[in-house]
Amino acid sequence: MDLAELTWTEAGERAEGGALLAVPLGATEQHGPHLPLSTDTDVAAELCRRLAAARGDVLVAPPLGYGASGEHAGFAGTLSLGTEVLTALLVELGRSAGESFTRMLLVNAHGGNAEAVRDAVRTLRAESRDVLAWSPRRSGDAHAGASETSLQLALAPARVRTHRVRPGATAPLAELMPALRAGGVRAVSAGGVLGDPTGATSAEGERLLASLTRDLLAAVARWAGPVDRDDV
């Protein structure tokens, strides 16, 4: 269930019943000429929706669609808060959420947010707040390649500009990393793609979503314990 659809009294009832708050974290950043800027946010939001569908104790917060995307500077439409601001934002969000909810889950689908998420969780836990951060672990292309394109084809195929799908920088990420650190994605890929999205399929996207959902459910069960769908 989406938190934003509730009244404050309904949210309070759910919180008192033990609901945990899941916050989707993404970004607004380039994903090549064929994927929408919201790709990371779309994935995070979908995983939270699937989590809530499987567990009765989950409320899904509105997605945070801005992250730390400095490595994608130079591509039109990319909007980045930066690591320092994102860290502060997540800390304040956690403190605010803690007034209602005893547990907060951060579902982060943008790798560039990792440092901010880690630092924010450390601060919140030092304040004795029960916070878990989870990020998808998947192999494949680093950015806007076959994996992310498959995910978007499964989520919203009409939003994929299939006529613009082209390979990008296909060298191993380890080889690209020095140039990436020095000059960002633009330094190694004029189109913004790291990998080859030409073989992407919606079937592979569904398989990835199912696998990631299982991983997320397992992580939450270890953290918050198992729950029946109708318990809360």
Give dist(CA 221, CA 219) in Å, integer: 5
DSSP state of 43: H
Query: Looking at beta carbons, which pairs linking 202-205 to residues 24 or more positions away fall under 8 Å?
Result: 202/150, 202/153, 202/154, 202/157, 203/150, 203/154, 204/146, 204/147, 204/150, 204/154, 205/149, 205/150, 205/151, 205/152, 205/153, 205/154, 205/155
Give the model's confidence band at 228: pLDDT under 50 very low, under 70 low, under 90 confident, else very high.
Answer: low
pLDDT of residue 140 exceeding 80, the answer is no
Binned at pLDDT 50, 70 and 90, residue 183 comes out as very high
The answer to whether residues 20 and 68 touch, using CB atoms and an 8 Å cutoff, is: no
**For residue 8, pLDDT beyond 80:** yes
User: Average model confidence (pLDDT) for the chain?
Assistant: 96
CATH architecture of 3-138+208-224: 3-Layer(aba) Sandwich (3.40)
Could you identify the residue written with the tokens 């790709």? 39
